[in-house]
Amino acid sequence: MTERLPDDCSEVLDHLYAFHDHELSAEEADQIRQHLMACEPCLDRFQVEDALRTLIRKCCSQARAPESLRVRVTASFSRTVIITEPE
């Protein structure tokens, strides 16, 4: 059964957080994964997200969560999203 693939990048990006947090069903996660394999911009976005999460997790596990760094990282990521947004 071929389900509707999320060809729409914005739809994929909408699910990126859930995908990252393993909150999607196996089928949904599969669709996202397939899109990421075929779509470099989305893969880029995913890897940025991935790197940030790793960074944040590392910071948080080392000491008490450095709130200022977390805010800065989150802010810079939001800025990236805005800049790369097509419209």
**Contact set with Zn ion (CB under 5 A):** 9, 39, 42
Q: From the CB of 57, what's the least distance to Zn ion, in Å?
A: 25
Closest to Zn ion by CB, 24 vs 39, is 39
Length in residues, the chain: 87
For the chain, the distance separating the N- and C-terminal CA atoms, rounded to the nearest angstrom, is 34
Residue 31 vs 42, nearer CB to Zn ion: 42
- In whole angstroms, give the CA distance from residue 36 to residue 32: 6
Residue among 48 and 59 whose Cβ is closer to Zn ion: 48
